[in-house]
Amino acid sequence: MEDKQNNQTSAPELDDSARDSGDRLRSSALPKIVLASASPRRAEILRTVNWPFETMPLNIDETRQPGEDALTYVQRLARAKAETAATRSPGSLIVGADTTVVIGDQILEKPDDHDDARRMLRQLSGHWHKVLTGVALIDAAELRVACETTEVKFAVMSQDEIDWYVSSGEPMDKAGAYAIQGMGARFIEGIRGDYFNVMGLPVRLLYEVWRDI
């Protein structure tokens, strides 16, 4: 009995650094956000990482201004979405996001019709391009805006493959006329950077912006 008692040890005292680490761990529970978007892909990403949220669909004019570059464009729209949502849900943690595709110096937004989607896919075929997502976060009176860039390589697509993919309907509401998480995945040859960014919400960047706010 005495041997057993001598072998028992009490829990060690935590030093300050260990306590700080534990405090950070306990405080890492994600707060509920209002996602200023009706995008099912962004909602899917938040569910994947178990980030509580509600959506607020908005009608924002997404027309690009004359001479506006891709970085300015996506950050401006992300901010506009977040600020509009904040007026409807004051005091909430608001997230706005906007994604676009760039190849060379040309911005590929959502296609206007099937012919436009075919044109975009012919441009992407066999080439690298960039996907940019602007993220805006509003917490009380504080606003943070950031952007993530990912590079994506398309395999060479035949005209039959392009026609088939466009006829599926998937490209029609997507920047760059493809969905990496959908049937378009069969044409993706390489990726450099954040996969979720290509889907429409760079969740690691969002986490960093929230953590630092």
- Catalytic residue numbers? 98
Strand 142-154 and strand 128-139: the pairing is antiparallel
Report the SS3 class of residue 148: strand
Report the SS3 class of residue 181: coil
Give the span between the Cα atoms of 183 and 58, in whole angstroms.
27
The answer to whether the CB of 197 falls within 8 A of the CB of 135 is: no
Our separate counts of H helices and E strands in the chain read 8, 7
